[in-house]
Amino acid sequence: MKKKARVTVRRAAKADIPKLVELNRAAYPKLAEQNAVWGEAHLLSHQRMFPEGQLVAEVGGRIVGAVASLVVDLGRDPLRHHTWSGITDSGFFTNHDLEADTLYGADVYVHPKARGKGVGAALYEARRQLCRRLNKRRILTGGRLWNYPDHAGKMTVAEYAQRVVAGELRDLVLSFQLREGFVLRGVMPNYLHDWRSENWASLIEWLNPGYQTRPSGPRRARIACVQYKMRKVTSFSDFARQVAYFTDVAADYRADFVMFPELFTMQLLSATDALSPQEGMQRLSDFTPKLVKLLQGLAAKYGFTIIGGSHPVKAGRNLRNICHVCLPNGQIFEQAKLHITPNERKWWGISGGTGLQVVDTPKARIGVLICYDIEFPETARFLADAGAEIIFVPFCTDNRPSFLRVRHCAAARAIENQIYVALAGNVGNLPDVENMDVQYGQSVVLTPSDFAFARDGVVGEADANEETVLICDVDLDDLHAARNDGTVTPRLDRRADLFKIVTALPLSAGKRAKPTDGPLGDQRDLSQRPPESQ
């Protein structure tokens, strides 16, 4: 007997998108004729909103299947009827809510030549593992009632579905889902504009047996901003001890986030021979693997998220100023500084990055803007529109006017976007490191300006130019309440008819599908009209 090929499942990457577009069309040729399949813009949006929920299956290194998922809040009636377009925000997943308790299966697709080889089962198991890992109460999805048209003249759709459950009839989709442990909760009309199922879908649910009820009460996060003193070190081990000391302090205060300042690794150059500024940066980039390993290990050890300041990293022939965000589960995200100051360009030869991302952490959705980036309103607006609740700003400034530019712009971003903004800067001096002689810093956590928040919009601030750790608590429930019902509601009152962000960022929140992008060129909300076949 021929042995089945091994199926491996991994997270989808941006480079997979062209293959996934082709795979979706191959899996659903009839829907492809209606331009009702995934397009590049939608798959990009999925990876931006919820990268953990986008998975691919490979056999022999070739992508043969994929799943698309998001987390949704279905309120007090999670089994209420809905449409595919409504629950997926027209396929873009911009309604993804990591704090909700329902993992929603938006799509599973397998190449026709790979069916019957265990690909679908592997993808369903990977989705169940994701549900367990995220501690979600259930997986819910709507399934096309594939074979119902063959019986439509003989029985109602509800009777058909029940007979499939009883094993009297076989449905290509529902029968498989039942074998995968799902339970039929009902049938939904007008779910998807699909000739094959006459627009009917099953409503199926898998309950997570390991689900643990989350504690009630306010959703809070504790932020530790390390006001880091530049001083001479003799080795990387000497530097690592200083970093470990501050993370240990933050752990003693039960922090959820620990942020180091921009370019705090410049301290390492004090252990080398005198170098020109550009040579120093190139030499510093060689420490990247050691730095990442250090931060990743500390995040895992203490169980919090580390915003690793920033560090010069080689990117081909370029040098970029990159922040490493390390999650307690071992994941690492990189955020490059986009806007480069004249000083950085001249002395260090730094190049700007090309993308922004929101990171889902165990406590909140966050973004990172490195120093100068916070002085550009569109950067924070982009992250806020993508769901960021806290923006972390590691900075490095050498005088008070420079610091105040960063601070005042950060305060404006907090008010404009109704988000929290946290700053952490360097203090001290490095007399032997050219262009890094002196530092001026004052770490601070800023809020929107409204009654729910701290007076003057400041949760807390450190004494200027003193080595310390600023510890602050922020209430994320207050943040969302103010967005919907504050004294002013700038997120709701924006004049989208007059102004909009037009962006070239690769994971643009504002990008919408062109006619050739799919999906669902014809997948409008069908809830207000009967199925076409009736």
Catalytic site positions:
262, 337, 371
CA 436 from centre of chain = 34
Rounded CA gap, 58 and 139, in Å? Answer: 23
Phi and psi at 110, nearest 5°, equal -130, 140
In whole angstroms, give the CA distance from residue 297 to residue 303. Answer: 10
Give the CB-side neighbour count of residue 160, counting CA atoms within 13 A: 24
Q: What are the distances in angstroms from CA 215 to CA 49, 218, 300, 328, 425?
A: 25, 9, 23, 20, 34
The distance of Cα 224 from the centroid of its chain, to the nearest Å, equals: 21
* CB half-sphere exposure, 155, CA atoms < 13 A: 13
Question: How many CA atoms lie within 13 Å of 325's alpha carbon, on the beta-carbon side?
Answer: 23
Angle (CA) 373 54 223, round 5°: 40
Q: Which of 11, 126, 109 is nearest to 519 (CA)?
A: 109
Give me the phi and psi of 345, to 5 degrees please.
-65, -45
> β-strand 62-72 against 311-315: which pairing, if any?
unpaired
144-169: burial string, b at 16+ Cβ within 10 Å, e else: bbbbbeebbeeeebeebbeebbeeeb
Cα–Cα distances (Å) from 254 to 219, 244, 289, 339, 454, in that order, read 15, 15, 27, 33, 21
Q: How far apart are CA 79 and CA 137, in angstroms?
A: 13
Cis peptide before 519 (omega within 30 of 0): yes
Rounded Cα–Cα distance for residues 110 and 65 (Å) = 4
What is the distance between the alpha carbons of residues 70 and 88, in angstroms, rounded to a whole number? 8
Place of tokens 């043969």: 64
Q: Coil, helix or strand for 284?
A: helix
Which amino acid is present at 41?
A: A
Tell me, rounded to whole angstroms, the distance of Cα 328 from its chain centroid.
15
**Measured in Å, how far apart are the chain's first and last C-alpha atoms?**
47
What's CA 169's distance to the chain center, in Å? 42
Burial class of residue 310 (count of CB atoms within 10 Å of its CB; 0-12, 13-18, 19+): buried
